[in-house]
């Protein structure tokens, strides 16, 4: 069987997108396929696969798998590309659309230029702060600036869920952190029963941060939309920034705003095509 796909990226967070709406494409083992095609030496190369599917409750549905084959609940950079694909390919021809995910239905507002989507604002919903719902094994109603022993070091972290679990810690220098060593220790830490994404954040000023991300199931990625949202929320909870933050990630920038009235977090950033292709599966 030949599988047709489109490679897309949001500030370097790249996925293989499979159109299951306009094309009759069904994969028996998407987890194994994601492991095979995500390999950057022997496959297509990506942070995972996202299937764009019909939805009974939204304009379309995204079903995502990480590079290690694990199923993802939500991806902020990935969902922006879903919105661009759906609009540019005529699946949904409106500038506000909804996408079903495993962490709920998300609303997207599209900025269209010359008939194509350039940037997308996503209502990422309300952050989940209760440790048992993240899930994270900390006492109390919130895990804000709480101690955590990792690799023999006592650190302080803030935990947030944006539909997937995040652990945020602040540092003076993000460049020199050996993420390949410390990232897995966070990801598999016993405090996080479903593993965790980890953000290492430097606060530049009250409206600007710099960060690196270790994603569960994918390792260090150039960007993580939910991670940027979690980092901004953590900054606000710790009194380090205002409610609107420009986040600098390795792959580019995202604008994050935590609305005080609704309690929703809004993320704005680009979505771009890389190439189309096909592969025998």
Lookup: tokens for 61: 């549905």
Rg (CA), the chain: 18
Residues 96, 105 contacting (CB under 8 angstroms): no
Mark whether 224 is an active-site residue.
Answer: yes
- The three-class DSSP label of residue 236 is helix
Phi, psi angles (nearest 5°) of residue 88: -65, -25
- Give SS3 for 83: helix
Q: 259, 164, 268, 174: which is closest to 216 by C-alpha?
A: 164
Q: How many residues does the chain have?
A: 281
Residue in 60, 159, 167, 224 annotated catalytic: 224
- How many angstroms separate the CA atoms of 277 and 47, rounded? 17
Query: What would the DSSP string read from start to end of 160-204?
Result: EESSSEEEEEE-S-STT--HHHHHHHHHT-TT-TT--EEEEEEEE
Distance of CA 189 to the CA centre of its chain: 20
Residues forming a β-bridge with 203: 209
Two tokens, residue 233: 């929320």
Among the listed residues 75, 81, 159, 167, the single catalytic one is 75
Q: Is 60 a catalytic residue?
A: no
Distances (CA, A) of 259 to 123, 130, 139, 188: 10, 19, 27, 32
Q: How far apart are CA 95 and CA 98, in angstroms?
A: 10
Catalytic residue positions?
Answer: 75, 224
């Amino acid at each position: 069987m030949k599988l047709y796909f489109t490679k897309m990226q949001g500030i370097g967070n790249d996925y293989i997108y499979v159109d299951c709406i306009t094309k009759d494409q069904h994969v028996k083992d998407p987890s194994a396929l994601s492991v095979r095609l995500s390999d950057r030496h022997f496959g297509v190369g990506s942070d995972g696969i996202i299937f764009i599917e019909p939805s009974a409750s939204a304009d379309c549905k995204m079903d995502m798998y990480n590079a290690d084959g694990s199923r993802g609940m939500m991806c902020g950079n990935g969902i922006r590309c879903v919105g661009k694909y759906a609009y540019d390919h005529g699946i949904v021809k409106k500038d506000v659309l909804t996408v079903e995910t495993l962490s709920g239905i998300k609303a997207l507002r599209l900025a269209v230029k010359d008939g194509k989507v350039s940037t997308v604002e996503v209502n990422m919903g309300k952050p989940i702060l209760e440790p048992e719902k993240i899930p994270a094994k900390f006492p109390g109603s919130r895990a804000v600036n709480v101690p955590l022993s990792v690799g023999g070091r006592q650190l302080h972290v803030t935990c947030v869920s944006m539909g997937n679990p995040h652990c945020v810690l602040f540092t003076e220098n993000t460049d020199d952190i050996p993420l390949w060593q410390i990232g897995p220790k966070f990801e598999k830490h016993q405090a996080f029963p479903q593993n965790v994404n980890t953000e290492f954040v430097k606060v530049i000023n009250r409206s600007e941060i710099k960060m690196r991300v270790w994603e569960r199931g994918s390792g260090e990625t150039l960007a993580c939309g939910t991670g940027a949202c979690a980092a901004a929320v953590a900054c606000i909870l710790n009194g380090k920034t205002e409610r609107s933050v420009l986040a600098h990630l390795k792959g580019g920038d995202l604008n994050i705003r935590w609305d005080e009235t609704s309690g929703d977090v809004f993320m704005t950033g680009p979505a771009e095509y890389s190439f189309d292709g096909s592969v025998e599966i």
